[in-house]
Structure 1
Amino acid sequence: MLWIRKRDKTPLEAIREELMKRLKQAPASLAALTPSETTLLDSINRTTRDLNLNNVTRTRAYLAFYLRHPEIHWAFLGHMVSRNGGWNMTDLKGEFLTKLLSEKERDGLFRFLERGNWLIFQDVYPQLLLYEASLKNNQPLFYLLPRLQVSGFMDTIWNYFWRARDTHMLCIGLVINEQSCLENRVIQHPDYQQQGWMAFLFHLQDVLAFNHILFPAEGNRLQGQTLYRFQSLQERIFFGKKLYAVLFQNPEFTSQALEWATRHPHTGSRKDYWPHLFNSVHEGVPGTTSPLRLKSCRIDDDARRFYSPKLEEAWKPIAQPDAEPGEWFVDVRAADYLADDIDMVDGEITKDYCKTLERLEIAAYAKQAIHAQP
């Protein structure tokens, strides 16, 4: 008699099976908390609230966590992407966009960017702290994720990671989760749709360089990717997977990027990575028209640098309403995004970014010159 050995499930098949079971099961009622669980959750919520003050505090918290737990790749990816969020925020008070956008437009865009940055931290940082507590207790505590308003999708992903220590699968799972949360709570939120901020942002995306994500590294290296369809959830998830590949596919670049990040604390000013072009102090006279001076990301030694303020000097912290309730995970096809379908990614971005800066300078110069005419 022939015996046919049953093929072992792939990690993706095992995760999909667990997620399917979760969708078929009726939501379980939450058990009463023990005193130690209550204390832990209170501590996690308090720490998250204290660190979720602004983009600078969030971005530094991600890096500090990664330095404690380098197996959690998302923490470093989140740190580097959050740096870009801060640069986009300070651009709204910087050299170019103050000439191209009205104060109302810039304030609205800041609030949109800040809401997304705040929501992601509010969702993911408690997960990181719960993982840290699990390590200290030497047992998984992810059954507490619902108490932190985290999707059931991540309960499955974290428990799989606890068993398999699959850093790649966890990072992609977190990318899927955060972008899905962003989709429900920001991109499709009626307030942003009705106020027109989504359409406005999509229209200006290419012009304002909000679609470039830059990863600086020691040795004056710059890698990254460009997103062209921010409004698409599928594109944002695929983009996140490509960013992960850029940051982690080459161990030498990963090391150089981490060295740069630890040596250059995040301020929100683009001076952090290119001090030859940007300064957090305004070197010009406000209201005057400056000649064009940027070519191939270089300026003359005697030319003034472009103003890029520090975030905490540009924007005051703003109070945020609680995250909107709701479970985004309602279709097992979300697991399809977990597939390892990204090959080696070319992270070259310097030339494209330089061209974007030149377009911004020309546009700002032209608008300022028109307004200066009698």
Structure 2
Amino acid sequence: MFTNFKRIGGKWRLPEKYLAIKADLKNDHRQPLQDEQDLPREDRSLLQSIRFQTEQLNSNNKTRTKAYLDFYTIHPEIHWAFLGHMVSRNGGWNMTDLKGEFLSRLMHEQTKRDFFSFLERGNWLIFQDAYPQFLLYAESKSRNRNLFYLLPYLHVSRFMEVIWNHFWRDRDCYLLAIALVINEQNYLENRIIQNPLYKKKVFQTFEFVLQDFLSVNHILFPYHDHRKPEGRATLIGLTLHHFGSLHERIMLGKRLYQLLFGERDLLEAVHRWAIAHPHTGSRKDYWPEVFNAINEGVPGTSLSRRLKSCQIRKGALRLFSPKLEYAWKNVNHAKAELGDWYEHWHMIEYLVEEKIALKGKIEGEYCETLEKLELAAIAKTTIFP
């Protein structure tokens, strides 16, 4: 994390452009927050509108994922909106996997519900924190006036208030995107990762250990390669092995950003694919010749090998990957836990850009994962029919 720091007088020092952010974070001279009812009517109306829009679009993984893409299409300078869209797609695929071909056979019903609750709560929390920031930015842009003094009324971290003010002046798209990565992962840390309920029901379960062993925590970015047949997407991406580590999640976010935004042609290809393939939650979205949203199998039929080198064997049925609305009902969430995660300016050290050689080649690893899952499901249904 410190490879791009400058050594001055025997000490490591942040690059110049981050020193002003550090100073603003250290010198917190904000006045006590004015009661919302005492704000001008225009501000109160805006806050109500932002809350209403966020709640409406936060219904489920599909609505959130679409909202991110729609926002990015209008405001392409907000890079995190597209990164968030692609990562949220993966969240939806993970949700439907729980009712799909393999994991549905490897998990008990209650464990599936616990895992879905964990994934859904995290997806919901991030949206209800990030999307109000986007809407406030859009209104600031529309009025050509900085409105970020309203962020505390939306329970947004002090860290992001400072970052948005710097972005408003400097328009540093990279800085804002990575700051949002840092913010959202810290926001989840106490609410999800350190939550005793999820620790007991998710992280300490055999199934979670199995997921990590099989490397199913792949983040996939599909796009169409004109050299390959129409319909089958090419996949790039990265894998997270230590979900419980805040540091690893932040670093993965930085690397995913670099992978997605590092090459313009690749970014445009992934964006074109996303526009052309609305998110359904089914993995059929990217590999329709391997997955189907309709279960082609006959109940009670024993499992047999169907995959070979990420292709369905001749005469075999496609793998079941349902659409989100058929896999899970919408959830009525409890209000987000209050509290600001930000405590120390050292967190901005993650903002320092590090160029890492990333190829993003993941298809081989992903195909190996699918085959391992298939073998595990066959073994379990053979031993425990």
Same fold by TM-score, threshold 0.5 exceeded? yes
Contact kept? 1:245, 1:344, Cα under 8 Å: no
How far is 1:277 from its partner?
0.5
Summarize the alignment of residues 12-23 of structure 1 with structure 2, pairs less than 5 Å apart. 12-22=18-28
How far is 1:287 from its partner?
1.9
In 1, Cα distance between equivalents of 2:292 and 2:157: 41
Are residue 28 (structure 1) and residue 55 (structure 2) matched? no
User: Secondary structure in 2 aligned to 1:224?
Assistant: strand
Question: When the two structures are aligned, how many residues end up with a matched partner?
Answer: 362
In 2, Cα distance between equivalents of 1:65 and 1:271: 25
Contact kept? 1:202, 1:231, Cα under 8 Å: no
Are residue 128 (structure 1) and residue 134 (structure 2) matched? yes
In 1, Cα distance between equivalents of 2:375 and 2:208: 21
2:246 to 233, 239, 254: 233
Q: Please give the per-residue CA displacement for 1:203-249, whole angstroms capped at 9, x wherever unaligned.
A: 23324654100000122321100111111101100000000011110
In 2, Cα distance between equivalents of 1:139 and 1:207: 50
**More displaced 10-residue stretch of structure 1: 31-40 or 240-249:** 31-40
In structure 1, what residue type is equivalent to 2:379? A
Contact kept? 2:293, 2:323, Cα under 8 Å: yes
Cα 1:284–1:196 change in 2 (3 A) is closer
Cα 1:191–1:278 change in 2 (3 A) is same
Cα 1:116–1:43 change in 2 (3 A) is same
Cα 1:9–1:284 change in 2 (3 A) is closer
Could you tell me which residue of structure 1 aligns to residue 11 of structure 2? Answer: none
2:323 to 276, 294, 310: 310
Could you tell me which residue of structure 2 aligns to residue 94 of structure 1? Answer: 100
Cα 1:59–1:20 change in 2 (3 A) is same
2:261 to 237, 243, 248: 248
In structure 2, what residue type is equivalent to 1:97? L
In 1, Cα distance between equivalents of 2:195 and 2:54: 24
Could you tell me which residue of structure 1 aligns to residue 159 of structure 2? Answer: 153
How far is 1:191 from its partner?
2.7
2:85 to 70, 79, 83: 79
User: Secondary structure in 1 aligned to 2:236?
Assistant: strand
Q: Normalised by the size of structure 1, how large is the TM-score?
A: 0.94
Q: Please give the per-residue CA displacement for 1:267-317, whole angstroms capped at 9, x wherever unaligned.
A: 000000011100000001022113202111011342110000000111000
How far is 1:250 from its partner?
1.0
Contact kept? 2:216, 2:369, Cα under 8 Å: no
How far is 1:346 from its partner?
1.7
In 2, Cα distance between equivalents of 1:324 and 1:85: 21
In 2, Cα distance between equivalents of 1:258 and 1:33: 40
Are residue 63 (structure 1) and residue 69 (structure 2) matched? yes
In 2, Cα distance between equivalents of 1:258 and 1:252: 10
Uncovered stretches (5+) of structure 2, i.e. residues with no partner: 1-13, 226-232
Are residue 112 (structure 1) and residue 118 (structure 2) matched? yes
User: Secondary structure in 1 aligned to 2:300?
Assistant: coil
1:349 to 357, 362, 369: 362
How far is 1:171 from its partner?
0.1
How far is 1:41 from its partner?
0.5
How far is 1:342 from its partner?
3.5
How far is 1:331 from its partner?
1.1
**More displaced 10-residue stretch of structure 1: 200-209 or 267-276:** 200-209
Contact kept? 1:181, 1:328, Cα under 8 Å: yes
Q: Please give the per-residue CA displacement for 1:309-355, whole angstroms capped at 9, x wherever unaligned.
A: 00011100011001100010011111111111242422110000000
Could you tell me which residue of structure 1 aligns to residue 180 of structure 2? Answer: 174
Are residue 206 (structure 1) and residue 206 (structure 2) matched? no
Contact kept? 1:278, 1:307, Cα under 8 Å: yes
Could you tell me which residue of structure 2 aligns to residue 197 of structure 1? Answer: 202
Which runs of at least 4 in structure 1 moved beyond 3 Å after TM superposition?
207-210
Uncovered stretches (5+) of structure 1, i.e. residues with no partner: 1-7
In 1, Cα distance between equivalents of 2:150 and 2:182: 20
How far is 1:21 from its partner?
1.1
Percentage identity across paired residues of the two chains? 53
Could you tell me which residue of structure 1 aligns to residue 301 of structure 2? Answer: 288
Could you tell me which residue of structure 2 aligns to residue 49 of structure 1? Answer: 55
How far is 1:180 from its partner?
0.2
User: Secondary structure in 1 aligned to 2:204?
Assistant: helix
In structure 2, what residue type is equivalent to 1:274? W
In 2, Cα distance between equivalents of 1:300 and 1:228: 30
In 1, Cα distance between equivalents of 2:31 and 2:42: 24
In 2, Cα distance between equivalents of 1:286 and 1:158: 53
2:381 to 360, 368, 372: 368
In 1, Cα distance between equivalents of 2:234 and 2:305: 25
Q: Please give the per-residue CA displacement for 1:124-145, whole angstroms capped at 9, x wherever unaligned.
A: 0000000000011101101100
In 2, Cα distance between equivalents of 1:65 and 1:204: 36
1:320 to 319, 329, 333: 333
User: Secondary structure in 2 aligned to 1:30?
Assistant: coil
Q: Normalised by the size of structure 2, how large is the TM-score?
A: 0.91
How far is 1:202 from its partner?
4.6
Could you tell me which residue of structure 2 aligns to residue 3 of structure 1? Answer: none
In 1, Cα distance between equivalents of 2:122 and 2:356: 29
User: Secondary structure in 2 aligned to 1:74?
Assistant: helix
How far is 1:369 from its partner?
1.8
